[in-house]
C-alpha cells in the first residue's frame, strides 16, 4: 500500500457501535456504524472486525490499490460482519487480503474459508460471491495461540461472550494495543484473560456498551447479555497497567448527549481515557 509509514503504530476507529447501526441526527458526533477498527503498523495495514464501519474505511483505501491487508475477526455476530459485502477492495483484481479468525464450534466442522462464504457472505448478502476479484487467503486461528506477521506479534485469548469471541493483542517495537470487544465482566472477579492480554499495553480498546447503572437496573438488567461497562473497563485497565483505555462498542440507544455525559464521567475517573468516536486516531508511535 502507498502512504504507509514503516515507523508508525496507529489505530483508527471507523465503527464504534454495538448490535445494530444507528445513523441519524442524534448520533452524528460519535457515529452510528458498527465495529470496525484499522491499525497501521510498521508499514502493514490491519483491519479488525467488519461491521458497517468497514464500508467507510474502504472509501479511504480507493487510492491505495493495489493493496495488501490483513483482516481479523473477533466473532461473527451481525454487527461485526455487516460491512463485509460492501468492502470494495474485495471486488478489485490485484488486491491481496489475508483473512484470520476462528470458526465457532456449532457442531458442524468447517474451515474458515467455507465459513466465510457460507455464513459471512451468506444467502442474505446482496453481492454475488463470483463478483469477488481479490486474492483472498484464509488463516484458521486457534484461540489462545500466538502468531506473527513478520515482526508484529499477535496474541489471542478467549472472551466471555455468547457463542464465543476472541480478544487480540497486537505488539510491535515494544508497544502494544489490546482489542477486547464483546466481553462481559464477571460478578466476583476481574477477567484474568483480559488482564493477561492487556498487560502493560499502551492502549486497551474495551467493550463498555453499558453503564453500571444500566447493567444492574432491576427493570432492564443486561446481566448475561455478553457486554460490559466503562466502570469495569477502568478496573481492568488499572489492574493490567494499561496506559490508555478506549471505551468502545457503544449502546445504539445512546445519543450524542448521553455519550457526552458518559465521556465527562469517564474523564472524571481517568483523565487519560478516551471514548471512541468515528474518525478517532490514536498514535502509539508517531510515523
The structural domains of the chain, with segments of one domain joined by +, span 9-285
Digit-coded pLDDT (tens) for 248-276? 999 999 999 999 999 999 999 999 999 99
Q: Is 219 helix (H, G, I), strand (E, B) or coil?
A: coil
Contacts of 151 (CB under 8 A, 6+ apart): 42, 172, 173
Q: Is the pLDDT of residue 187 over 90?
A: yes
Instruction: Give the pLDDT band of residue 2 (cuts 50, 70, 90).
Output: low
The answer, as to whether pTM is greater than 0.75, is: yes
Helix (H) or strand (E) holding 278: none
Here the cell at position 25 is 441526527
- State mean pLDDT over 217-240: 96
Name the CA radius of gyration of the chain, rounded: 18
Q: Are 182 and 165 in contact (CB under 8 A)?
A: yes
- SS3 percent helix, strand, coil of the chain, rounded to 5, is 25, 30, 45
Q: Which residue's C-alpha cell is 493493496?
A: 67
Q: Are 82 and 34 in contact (CB under 8 A)?
A: yes
Q: Report the alpha-carbon distance of residue 99 to residue 105 in Å, rounded.
A: 18
Q: Which superfamily is assigned to 9-285 in CATH?
A: Ribonuclease Z/Hydroxyacylglutathione hydrolase-like (3.60.15.10)
Digit-coded pLDDT (tens) for 51-104? 999 999 999 999 888 999 999 999 999 999 999 999 999 999 999 999 999 998
Amino acid at each position: 500500500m502507498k502512504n504507509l509509514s514503516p515507523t508508525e503504530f496507529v489505530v483508527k476507529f471507523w465503527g464504534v457501535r454495538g448490535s445494530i447501526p444507528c445513523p441519524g441526527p442524534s448520533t452524528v458526533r460519535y457515529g452510528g456504524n458498527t465495529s470496525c477498527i484499522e491499525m497501521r503498523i510498521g508499514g502493514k495495514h490491519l483491519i479488525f472486525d467488519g461491521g458497517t464501519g468497514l464500508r467507510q474505511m474502504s472509501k479511504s483505501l480507493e487510492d491505495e490499490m493495489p493493496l495488501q491487508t490483513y483482516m481479523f475477526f473477533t466473532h461473527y455476530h451481525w454487527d461485526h460482519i455487516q460491512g463485509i459485502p460492501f468492502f470494495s477492495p474485495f471486488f478489485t483484481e490485484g488486491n491481496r487480503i489475508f483473512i484470520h479468525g476462528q470458526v465457532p464450534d456449532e457442531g458442524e466442522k468447517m474451515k474458515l474459508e467455507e465459513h466465510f462464504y457460507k455464513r459471512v457472505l451468506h444467502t442474505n448478502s446482496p453481492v454475488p460471491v463470483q463478483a469477488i476479484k481479490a486474492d483472498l487467503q484464509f488463516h484458521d486461528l486457534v484461540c489462545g495461540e500466538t502468531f506473527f506477521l513478520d515482526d508484529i506479534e499477535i496474541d489471542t485469548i478467549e472472551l466471555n461472550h455468547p457463542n464465543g469471541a476472541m480478544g487480540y493483542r497486537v505488539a510491535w517495537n515494544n508497544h502494544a494495543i489490546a482489542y477486547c470487544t464483546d466481553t462481559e465482566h464477571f460478578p466476583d472477579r476481574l477477567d484474568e484473560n483480559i488482564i493477561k492480554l492487556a498487560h502493560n499495553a499502551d492502549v486497551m480498546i474495551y467493550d463498555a456498551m453499558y453503564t453500571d447503572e444500566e447493567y444492574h437496573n432491576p427493570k432492564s438488567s443486561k446481566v448475561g447479555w455478553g457486554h460490559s461497562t466503562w466502570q469495569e473497563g477502568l478496573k481492568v485497565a488499572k489492574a493490567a497497567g494499561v496506559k490508555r483505555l478506549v471505551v468502545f462498542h457503544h449502546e445504539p440507544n445512546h445519543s450524542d448527549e448521553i455519550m457526552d455525559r458518559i465521556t465527562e464521567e469517564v474523564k472524571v475517573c481517568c483523565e487519560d481515557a478516551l471514548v471512541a468516536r468515528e474518525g478517532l486516531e490514536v498514535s502509539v508511535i508517531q510515523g
